[in-house]
């Protein structure tokens, strides 16, 4: 364990095993709490880059009434922005996932993760981190193989950078790689360090 | 398994478990062959960006005399370039690793992986891929913790981006993340696809 980053007890409210693993990688003590039911909708006129942070705050809202002194609760949301439009998880099963990947194929998109830290003492602090990602032109054969083998229907943008399509299809990113996986570890580590 | 990328049987000549794992992630059939003893020195006047590819060709030289038809042997080398100087693995144990990290702290460096594909039919084809990496200013405490817990003395630049120091210390990269780990998977996949 790295020295306590903060004197608060750290809780992660997330159902995502990847996010849990990422946070554990910081070598800090983390407790998991089950995520609560949240309406993840957002106003139509919210700029796309603000959506993830907005949703992470909505997720945090569910804990503000019963958070205890000395604790910090982390909530997060990740979205993909392509042609200025927010893409969440694909609808319509495998065909929805294939459509989303055809849309990302051969161009740049952004991945934004919004993170909210909630404490009894200070309320909510939130931030978001953006990484630019480039997909090579994907062939139908590559998309079909990936979707049928890896079932990415539970992922924003219908892909995991840490899966086959990320290995063969992404020649370039600009920013924090772990942000694309679901948590901006560098920024989160810095924020936790300043939280007392 | 993804459809055969090439009609050749693919061999990886590397002792690095990370490199083996990375190549396996492409979902292609790979056989491992033990790396052979190679003098990894290079001419003093070789431009730093050419060193990794040069060394990957030297590693490949060891196989050219007994490679069989229908096979491709992959060899690779990774270097870190900081202030236009090539950094390999640190010398001098833990203190050498700490010195190297203090040098990388708070600035940009480049990671270059050179890859050579050798076949009986066509001889050697080689390429190299560069990724730019930024470290935040690292504290002595962070460097000490990382070096004592993760023993990075076997790594070029004395760090693994997929280890604690990479999670907390690298806010930004530009290029292929897997190249920093040791193999430029996108470019290698493309090269293998065109090899027949």
The catalytically annotated residue of A27, A44, A61, A77 is A77
With an 8 Å Cβ cutoff, is B28 touching chain A? no
- Taken in order of first residue, the domains within chain A and their CATH numbers are 9-193 (3.90.950.10)
B175: nearest CB among A22, A136, A172: A172
Q: Encoding tokens for residue B59?
A: 């590693």
Going by C-alpha positions, the residue among B193, B19, B54 that lies closest to residue B128 is B54
B172: nearest CB among A161, A171, A176: A176
What is the pLDDT at residue B15?
87
10-residue mean pLDDT series, chain B (196 residues): 90 92 94 91 97 97 92 97 95 96 98 97 96 98 97 95 98 98 97 90
Q: What rounded mean pLDDT belongs to chain A?
A: 95
Question: In chain A, pLDDT over 70 holds for what percent of residues?
Answer: 100
With an 8 Å Cβ cutoff, is A136 touching chain B? yes
Residue length of chain A: 196
Residues of B within 8 A of A3 (CB-CB) are 141, 145
Report the alpha-carbon angle B106-A6-B150, nearest 5: 55
Sign of CA pseudo-dihedral A84, A90, A92, A98? positive
What is the pLDDT at residue B16?
87
Question: Do B25 and A177 make contact, defined as CB atoms within 8 angstroms?
Answer: no
Q: What is the pTM of this model?
A: 0.95
Distance from C-alpha of A73 to C-alpha of A71, rounded to nearest angstrom: 7
In DSSP notation, A106-167 reads TSEEEEEEEEEEEETTTEEEEEEEEEEEEPPPPPHHHHHHHHHHH-GGGSGGG--TTSHHHH
With an 8 Å Cβ cutoff, is B170 touching chain A? yes
- Residue corresponding to tokens 């989160």: A188
pLDDT in tens, A106-158: 999 999 999 999 999 999 999 999 999 999 999 999 999 999 999 999 999 99
Question: What's the gap in Å between the CA of B66 and the closest CA on chain A?
Answer: 30
With an 8 Å Cβ cutoff, is A9 touching chain B? no
CA of A103: how far to CAs of A80, A140, A179, in Å? 12, 12, 21
Question: Do A167 and B22 make contact, defined as CB atoms within 8 angstroms?
Answer: yes
List the catalytic residues of B: 77
Q: CB of A126 within 8 A of CB of A117? A: yes
Question: What's the gap in Å between the CA of B130 and the closest CA on chain A?
Answer: 10
Closest alpha carbon within chain B to A170: B186
The answer to whether residue A193 scores a pLDDT higher than 90 is: yes
Question: Do A170 and B189 make contact, defined as CB atoms within 8 angstroms?
Answer: no
């Amino acid at each position: 364990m790295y020295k306590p980053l903060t004197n608060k007890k750290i809780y992660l409210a997330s159902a995502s095993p990847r996010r849990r693993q990422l946070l554990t990688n910081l070598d800090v003590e983390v407790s998991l709490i089950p995520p609560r039911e949240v309406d993840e909708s957002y106003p139509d006129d919210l700029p796309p880059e603000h959506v993830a942070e907005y949703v992470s705050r909505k997720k945090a809202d569910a804990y503000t009434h019963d958070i205890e002194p000395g604790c910090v609760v982390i909530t997060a949301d990740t979205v993909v922005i392509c042609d200025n439009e927010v893409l969440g998880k694909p609808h319509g099963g495998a065909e929805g996932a294939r459509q989303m990947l055809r849309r990302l194929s051969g161009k740049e998109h952004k991945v934004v993760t919004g993170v909210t830290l909630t404490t009894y003492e200070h309320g909510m602090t939130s931030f978001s981190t953006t990484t630019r990602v480039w997909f090579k032109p994907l062939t139908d054969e590559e998309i079909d193989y990936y979707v049928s083998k890896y079932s990415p229907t539970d992922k924003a943008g219908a892909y995991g950078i840490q899966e086959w399509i990320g290995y063969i299809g992404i020649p370039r990113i600009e920013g924090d790689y772990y942000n694309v996986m679901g948590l901006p570890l560098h920024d989160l580590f810095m924020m936790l360090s300043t939280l007392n």
